[in-house]
Structure 1
């Protein structure tokens, strides 16, 4: 019989982008992905042009952070770990969620969307009102983002 995996990391990953971080009270909504390129997990989304739509592009009303969906089926030509156009997108509007830091961030700092990442630098970035980093981390590290 073939061995599928014979090496293991010493430590399990604490989480992954878009994973709900803990059991604190949270609020979740769903919207329809309008972006033809899809929307990744653990990123800010904004109200789209449709009645029930959302987009990754800043400019509209900030809705929340996308929640990873581990049971999302993958069709030919689609990318893993993202919602495809017309998928129902789970969005956390309040709670604690894992995200990937777009720069070195500090625990307690206000979060901003730089159009490509979540950062704690306000200059030329869109504020994620009410969302603050709940852990410190380096650029590219998984960190907790919270709105309480």
Structure 2
């Protein structure tokens, strides 16, 4: 019988922002998006004013990162790949997921968030996403796997 596949990739293919990376131990919760802005998949979300509410306003109260929900319809108030205000957001509190980084990164660099909500490994003037690390090296800005274990 001939060999069908004789080489294998070292890692899984790159995903899209907000995509769950693997079946590793994780914790996913749901909270309602407060405010007037849409939330892109993979964006960090923070404790809102309601007990089960989240906001995009960067603070020390990180809840987690918005997971993608491909079942959401595109509407005038909800562009593709986003949650609209009032939507129930699936949030990864722990585990691995794909996000968009604005900088290069080394494996195990601390994840930081800019005031605008962008993900970076630069600490100066940014807020730490406590417990979250880059789970792979990134040679240029783009999609990267992050983890909290």
* Superposition TM-score tier, normalisation by shorter sequence: 0.7 to 0.9
What is the alpha-carbon root mean square deviation over aligned residues?
Answer: 1.3
Q: Confirm whether residue 54 of structure 1 aligns to residue 71 of structure 2.
A: no
* Partner residue in 1 for 2:3: none
**Which contiguous aligned blocks of 4+ residues in structure 1 show a shift greater than 6 angstroms?**
none
- Structure 2 length as normaliser, TM-score? 0.86
* Partner residue in 1 for 2:71: 71
* Partner residue in 2 for 1:120: 121
Question: How do residues 103-142 of structure 1 correspond to structure 2 at under 5 angstroms?
Answer: 103-115=103-115, 116-142=117-143
Number of matched residues?
Answer: 136
* Partner residue in 2 for 1:86: 86
Tell me by how many angstroms 1:60 deviates.
Answer: 5.2
The runs of 5 or more residues in structure 2 that have no matched partner are 1-12
| Matches of 1:88 and 1:74, distance apart in 2 | 15
The runs of 5 or more residues in structure 1 that have no matched partner are 1-12
CA deviations over 1:34-57 (Å, ceiling 9, x no partner): 131211110111001122210111
Shift in CA distance, 24/90, structure 1 to aligned 2, threshold 3 Å: same
| Matches of 1:107 and 1:43, distance apart in 2 | 20
- Structure 1 length as normaliser, TM-score? 0.86
